[in-house]
Amino acid sequence: PKILFIEHNGAEHLVEGECGKSVMQTAVENVVPGILGDCGGSCSCATCHAYVDPQWLARLPPPAEDERLILDGALEVRDNSRLSCQIKLAEALDGLVLRLPERQF
Ligand code: FES
């Protein structure tokens, strides 16, 4: 599945992800600036914070309790904020669009 990351400055990165991997892993492997993933995806750092395109939001499983807790610690949290390490890629997410915050900490 392809994912489009849009940086805070508008720069776009269209990358091909692998099913089963997380969005955070996909961003890090493709050197997309703006996603850090400091904790390696264990849902404890919030440096993988991203804004899910509103059209896609309802198509993702809702955040689990631990994601919501950690997300509270991210900067400029909005209604469409998610931790990208908790979004697992599947063919159904082909075309997913995420916007990246200006900074992660
Ligand atoms: Fe640390 Fe997502 S990579 S919370």
Q: Give the residue whose CA is nearest to atom 4 of ligand 1.
A: 43
Using 70 as the pLDDT threshold, list the residues of the chain that sit under it: none
100 lines ligand 1 (CB under 6 A): no
Query: What's the predicted TM-score (pTM) here?
Result: 0.96
Q: Is residue 104 part of a domain?
A: no
Which domain covers residue 21, as residue numbers?
2-94
Write the CATH number for 74.
3.10.20.30
Q: Is residue 8 part of a domain?
A: yes
Q: How many domains does the chain have?
A: 1
Q: Is residue 103 part of a domain?
A: no
Q: What is the pLDDT of residue 36?
A: 97
Q: Is residue 35 part of a domain?
A: yes
Tell me the per-residue pLDDT of 27-37, one tens digit each, with 9 for 90 and over: 999 999 999 99
- Asked if 82 and 50 touch (Cβ cutoff 8 Å), the reply is yes
Q: Is residue 85 part of a domain?
A: yes
